[in-house]
Structure 1
């Protein structure tokens, strides 16, 4: 007989209280007709089975077996009680089978909306772990901006959303959030390459030009002083709302860019550029959101956890690099 486990919750009033282990012993004894065989079925000792049967008899208030020599004869009450116990175990075993099926069968689709900075490197790495593990999961990945992702998650169009603006977010549940320092992207032959420590944007703004974002700097960079922001915008002739485009402009024109560390890593992998930590405290926010954890499959939750771990490790690396 398969052991279901231990469960407290059958209360007969007063001191009468049964657990599932006791009922397993009663069921095994009824099925086998002996304490010895019941002990073998349950992989426990004969005294343990006898003790469990005795506990049940004290709880229910009537004898279950008549003992004659080495044999056992169920009482009338035991036969009636057994019908109820057997029905309960059938239901429990069906639940166990259902749980086994859910645990071993995945299937389905995981839909993800992601910002560009995570779409090209971090997310594919996380997806690959589940892709190799589950051969019946389909992944649908959509690259959008943060407002579009949040709207889609709220409408249950995406299981998971990876967004990049400072929380809080309305109408969604945040599974993970972190913040990484922005970095300064520069051509690999720039005079600042190879120097230790951070670069100061106040100083660089006197001699260097920068790629801006839409003619300005993103709202999440507004911890930058307005004077510095205006100074950097005033001498800029290049603007790009996409970080990967900004990185390409750095590579081709020799100007600098303030860029998130995830996009910076992609740019460095493509060659021709490097990045340096900056002195100013400019934060890039990353969060994983959903419309509700209870609506996610086990595999979708696993994906969010894998990605969260990767992002945490990446942020820790960038922070240590800045030091």
Structure 2
């Protein structure tokens, strides 16, 4: 495989046609077609099905694209960094990965605090699922990651672990929005907007609300920001991580504590066995300071990881 072939493949995936990809790459349509055919020959399977001028990715094409996108992102970063070194300009960027909860709820405040101390720094941030964050850190694609627990993984070291209680998010005008603390029992009979991953926070939320049982079909989403927007539209009540709810609240919703403790665990991770650069240590500290502003926040050392999961086992694993 060659970079040019991968670029042509990614461009066709993004543009939806060979003609559009040719325009993006400023190459001829036959040249793009040839590169894609060469890549298909190298992989041994078709990447697209053809429908006149339009193309549709095969299942293999979708699976390969995820890896190609990741590789090309690193290639572009390498090219940009090589140019910076050649020109003698700019410090190396901070390469970060975070779940959307941390990226929305903590990272902006932490970066602002860091830049107040050290001045503007270049940053490259990728947000994604907890599993994606762990993979990027362990694989060396980024220098620092922030995600929900569990964080134990070969090639990773946890720098610190935080805990804060989940909250209820209600639309303005909801009768429960006037309560200083929302009883979990009051959610019985209400439609719940909840998270889709059943193996992390969602499982603890379901266990805590189980006595009431669902009164209406739930709405599932992989993003706390999406959940807030759905609540604002009057589609239900959400029980969410406190990072998004407190750090990036939407107009039109109210955030209230619950009378039951549903712990949300999160932390900062770095590649194992590598010394942490001062800027990265400073950012980790700034993230911890931002987290300390969360109501009910508690900090734990990395050695407490297994014990925290066991203590929460009555509700589920994170």
Normalised to the residue count of structure 1, the TM-score between the two structures is: 0.58
* Stretch moving more, 175-184 or 293-302: 293-302
Q: Deviations over 1:248-268 (max 9, x none)?
A: 000002410111111112553
SS at match of 2:175: coil
Could you say which residue in structure 1 is the equivalent of 2:237?
Answer: 256
2:102 corresponds to:
118
- Match for 2:290 among 281, 288, 310? 310
Alpha-carbon offset, residue 141 of structure 1: 0.9
Q: 2:147 aligns with which of 143, 163, 172?
A: 163
Q: Distance in 1 between matches of 2:180 and 2:96?
A: 39
Query: What do the CA deviations read for 1:35-70 (whole angstroms, capped 9, x no partner)?
Result: xxxxxxxxxxxxxxxxxxxxxxxxxxxxxxxxxxxx
**Match of 2:180?**
196
Which residue pairs with 1:15 in the alignment? none
Trace 1:14-33 onto structure 2 (pairs within 5 A).
none
Kindly report the root-mean-square deviation, in angstroms, between the aligned alpha carbons of the 2 structures: 2.8
**Aligned partner (choices 219, 241, 259) of residue 279 of structure 1:** 259
The counterpart of 2:277, out of the listed 291, 297, 307, is 297
| Distance change in 2, residues 1:308/1:317 (3 Å) | closer
Shift of 1:121: 4.0
Equivalent positions of 1:95-244 (< 5 A) are 107-135=91-119, 137-200=121-184, 203-214=185-196, 219-224=200-205, 226=207, 228-229=209-210, 232-233=213-214, 235-244=216-225
Report how far residue 287 of structure 1 moved: 0.5
Cα deviation code 1:119-167 (max 9, x no counterpart): 1242112112333443573211111111111111111111100011244
Deviations 1:72-123 (A, max 9, x none): xxxxxxxxxxxxxxxxxxxxxxxxxxxxxxxxxx932211101101212421
Other-structure match for 2:83: none
Question: How many equivalent pairs are there?
Answer: 210
Aligned twin of 2:10: none
Q: Which has the larger radius of gyration?
A: 1
Q: Which protein, 1 or 2, shows the higher relative CO under an 8 Å CA cutoff with sep ≥ 6?
A: 2
CA distance in 2, matches of 1:142, 1:250: 26
Report if the CA contact (8 A) 2:189-2:215 is conserved.
no
After the TM superposition, which of the residue ranges 130-139 and 146-155 deviates more from structure 2?
A: 130-139
- CA positional deviation for 1:190: 1.0
Structure 1: gaps spanning 5 or more residues: 1-105, 319-323
Compared with structure 1, are the counterparts of its residues 219 and 230 closer, same or farther at alpha carbon in structure 2 (3 Å cutoff)? farther
Change (3 A) 1:210 1:218: farther
How far off is 1:208 after superposition? 1.1
> CA 1:272–1:292 in structure 2 vs 1: closer, same or farther (change >3 Å)?
same
Match of 1:68 in 2: none
Secondary structure in 1 aligned to 2:168? strand
**Structure 2 alignment gaps of length 5 or more:** 1-89, 299-318
* Structure 1 counterpart SS, 2:108: helix
Alpha carbons 1:108, 1:136 under 8 Å: kept: no
Report the Cα offset of residue 222 of structure 1.
2.8
How far did 1:195 drift? 2.0
Distance in 2 (CA, whole Å) between partners of 1:315 and 1:124 is: 18
Whole-Å separation in 1 of the counterparts to 2:205 and 2:297: 23
Q: CA offsets, 1:167-199, max 9 Å, x none?
A: 444431111111111111101211122223342
